[in-house]
């Protein structure tokens, strides 16, 4: 089963089992898919079992995308993200732009990922070797009811690779949800106690 694949051995008569199934079903009806996002499935199950520590709390985040002329008089985009998290009772604010070494904008999700991973206090070392390797976007419904599903594939220096999912009418919110799941899954493996 998916639960044992996630390393969770649960007795068939465990009262949390129907809650896990109901939560997954509810989320799948909202556009989530766990076939390609096993790490997010594990987090849903752990949450229902009371086995998901809260390593940090996101207080707020903001992403801006600015279009302007650079010093060569060419139009360029610049994405910037601000993330405020609370770790061990302390608020931490991180800001990141998404420019790479060539001066190319890597986009708002990249800026958000960098800002989120910039300062997680005592958990920083646990996520230092983590990187986003693939990013897939799918619109699950048409028209004004459109819902965006984002699947993020991550890997770490130990050769582990995992996938997470986020769903929202807003692509940035969906991306952020998948990023949070990716970091929380990594912290479950390497972050120690919350």
pLDDT tens column, 89-146: 999 999 999 888 887 888 999 999 999 999 999 999 999 999 999 999 999 877 777 8
Rg of the chain on CA atoms, in Å: 18
Confidence at residue 192, expressed as pLDDT on a 0 to 100 scale:
67
DSSP assignment letter at 35: S
Average pLDDT value over all residues in the chain:
92
Model confidence pLDDT, tens digit, residues 147-191: 999 999 999 999 999 999 999 999 999 999 999 999 999 999 997
Burial of 146-161, coded b for 16+ CB within 10 Å and e otherwise, reads: ebbbbbbbbbbeeeee
Banded model confidence at residue 1, pLDDT cuts 50, 70, 90? confident
Tell me the average pLDDT across 8-36.
93
In 3D space, the residue among 120, 175, 128, 121 whose CA is nearest the CA of residue 150 turns out to be: 175
């Amino acid at each position: 089963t998916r639960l044992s694949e996630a390393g969770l051995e649960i007795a068939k008569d465990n009262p949390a089992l129907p809650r896990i199934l109901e939560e997954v079903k509810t989320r799948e009806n909202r556009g989530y898919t766990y076939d390609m996002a096993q790490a997010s499935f594990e987090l849903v199950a752990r949450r229902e079992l009371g086995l998901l520590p809260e390593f940090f709390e996101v207080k707020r985040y903001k992403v801006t995308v600015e279009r302007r002329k650079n010093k060569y008089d060419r139009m360029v985009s610049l994405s910037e993200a601000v993330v405020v998290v609370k770790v061990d009772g302390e608020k931490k604010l991180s800001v990141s732009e998404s420019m790479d070494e060539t001066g190319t904008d890597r986009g708002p999700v990249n800026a958000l990922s960098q800002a989120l991973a910039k300062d997680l206090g005592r958990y920083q070392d646990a996520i230092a070797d983590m990187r986003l390797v693939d990013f897939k976007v799918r619109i699950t419904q048409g028209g004004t009811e459109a819902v965006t599903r984002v699947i993020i594939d991550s890997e770490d220096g130990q050769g582990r690779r995992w996938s997470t999912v986020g769903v929202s009418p807003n692509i940035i919110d969906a991306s952020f949800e998948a990023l949070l799941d990716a970091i929380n899954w990594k912290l479950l493996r390497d972050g120690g106690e919350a």
